[in-house]
Amino acid sequence: MRMLIKNIRGLLSVYDDSPGVLRGAKMNELSMLENAFLAVDNGRIAIYGSMEEWGGIEDWRNLEVIDAEGRYVLPAWCDSHSHLVFAASREKEFEDRISGLSYEEIARRGGGILNSAQKLAQMDEDELFESSLLRLRQLVESGTGALEIKSGYGLSTEAELKMLCVVARLKEESKVKIKATFLGAHAIPAAYASKRRAYIDLILEEMIPAVAEKKLADYVDVFCEKGYFSTEESLEIVERASDFGLKSKIHVNQFNAMGAIPKLVAAGVLSVDHLEVMDEEDFEALSGSATIATALPLCSLFLSLDYTPGRQLIDRNAALALASDYNPGSAPSGNMALAVSLACIKMGLTPAEAINAATINGAAAMEISDTHGSITPGKVASLIITEACESPAFLPYSFGRPAIERVILS
111 binds, among Fe ion, ligand NIG, none (CB under 5 to 8 A by kind): none
Is 112 a binder of ligand NIG (CB under 6 A)?
Answer: yes
Q: Whole-angstrom Cα distance, residue 44 to residue 42?
A: 6
Contact 361, 396 (CB under 8 A): no
254 binds, among ligand NIG, Fe ion, none (CB under 5 to 8 A by kind): ligand NIG
Neighbouring CB atoms inside 10 A of 58's CB total: 5
Residue 283 vs 302, nearer CB to ligand NIG: 302
Q: Closest distance between Fe ion and the C-beta of residue 325, in Å?
A: 4
Q: Closest distance between Fe ion and the C-beta of residue 392, in Å?
A: 28
For residue 15, give Cα distances in angstroms to 52, 176, 393, 402. 19, 22, 20, 25
Residue 82 vs 386, nearer CB to ligand NIG: 82
Q: 200 CB contacts (<8 Å, ≥6 apart)?
A: 185, 229, 233, 236, 237
Q: Closest distance between ligand NIG and the C-beta of residue 325, in Å?
A: 5
Binding mask 289-328 for Fe ion (x = CB under 5 A): ------------------------------------x---
SS3 201: helix
Residues 321-350 that bind Fe ion (CB under 5 A): 325
Q: Closest distance between ligand NIG and the C-beta of residue 131, in Å?
A: 15
Residue type, 171: K
Is 297 a binder of ligand NIG (CB under 6 A)?
Answer: no
Is 251 a binder of ligand NIG (CB under 6 A)?
Answer: yes
Q: By C-alpha distance, which of 342, 268, 351, 274 is closest to 313?
A: 274
Q: Closest distance between ligand NIG and the C-beta of residue 206, in Å?
A: 22
Is 324 a binder of ligand NIG (CB under 6 A)?
Answer: no
Burial (CB count within 10 angstroms: exposed 0-12, middle 13-18, buried 19+), residue 240 = buried
Contact 314, 27 (CB under 8 A): yes
Sites of contact with ligand NIG (CB under 6 A): 112-113, 116, 223, 251, 254, 299, 325, 327-330
